[in-house]
Amino acid sequence: MNKRKILVVDDERKIVELVRLYLEKDGYRVLVATDGLDGLELARQKRPDLILLDLMLPGMDGLDVCRILQAESDVPIIMLTARTTDEDKLIGLELGADDYVTKPFNPREVVARVRAVLRRVGKEAARGPTEMRFAGLVIDRRRCEVRVRGEVANLTPTEFRLLEVLAGEPGRAFARLELLDRVFGFDFEGFERTVDVHVKNLRKKIEPDPRQPTYVKTVYGVGYKFGEDLGED
């Protein structure tokens, strides 16, 4: 039975209990908090495998909680949001969230998203001790760790997978839709701008100058590629 810990942070108790019911039925251990400060403290103490985090919370809003947790750890986060426009959905992704679910939602969809994100994280962790080395950049698959000029870059699981896919074939242009498939999988019903947000965040963490990227380059009219002829670290 799956005993991975999921933290649900939402001030709507009916939603919390419904999500808890479905997650526990699927075999997860569920922790709950109904305000941002309690959620942050619980995340720090219990170190969950994934967090379901509402955007609108008392005490501290979900965006601030997400920002703090992403600075402190690489825990996957799925944002729960009542906002429906693309711009609103991108807010959480820009802060490093791995996925989002729009309210009202089917609890079965939430469980499916949890499975999908944890599956991605698990695949990354299960890769062999292979390292990819480039000038100033090391991608350590065994540790799911990226080092930039000797310093560890605090990437989210999605950012790590995105970089791993691009760096696996330097110089190859990947279309956004292909990256959605390779990074998120078929069960992610996202939109192409999601890739742009994650690339923007990734560049901030690994590029000497994000405005003139060395590693993750834009291929206009297509998508992105990893820089060629970078040599080894």
CATH of the domain at 134: 1.10.10.10
> Of the residues 76, 98, 125, which one is the last residue of a structural domain?
125
pLDDT at position 128, please? 45
Counting the structural domains of the chain, the total is 2
Same domain, 24 and 120: yes
- Residues of the chain with pLDDT > 70, as a percent, come to 88
Give the β-pairing of 131-134 and 137-140. antiparallel
Same domain, 21 and 98: yes
pLDDT in tens, 171-205: 999 998 888 877 876 555 566 788 898 999 999 99
* Whether the Cβ atoms of residue 67 and residue 97 lie closer than 8 Å to each other: no
User: Is 33 among the domain residues?
Assistant: yes
The 3-state DSSP class for residue 78 equals strand
User: Is 170 among the domain residues?
Assistant: yes
Confidence of residue 2 (pLDDT cuts 50, 70, 90): very low
User: Is 38 among the domain residues?
Assistant: yes
Q: Can you tell me the mean pLDDT for 52-64? A: 89
> Of the residues 107, 125, 143, which one is the last residue of a structural domain?
125
pLDDT at position 145, please? 87
Same domain, 111 and 134: no
Same domain, 9 and 105: yes
pLDDT at position 83, please? 67
Tell me the sheet residues that pair with 140. Answer: 131, 145
Q: Which domain holds residue 71?
A: 5-125
Q: Which helix (H) or strand (E) holds 175?
A: strand 174-175
The model's pTM? 0.62
- DSSP structural state of residue 5: E
Q: Can you tell me the mean pLDDT for 40-50? A: 92
Q: Which of 45-54, 70-79, 181-190 has the lowest mean pLDDT?
A: 181-190
pLDDT at position 146, please? 92
> Of the residues 91, 125, 159, which one is the last residue of a structural domain?
125
pLDDT at position 188, please? 57
Handedness of CA 155, 157, 163, 167 (dihedral sign): positive
User: Is 233 among the domain residues?
Assistant: no
Same domain, 114 and 136: no
CA atoms within 13 A on the CB side of 80: 24
User: Is 37 among the domain residues?
Assistant: yes
CATH of the domain at 61: 3.40.50.2300
Give the β-pairing of 77-81 and 131-134. unpaired
* Whether the Cβ atoms of residue 66 and residue 77 lie closer than 8 Å to each other: yes
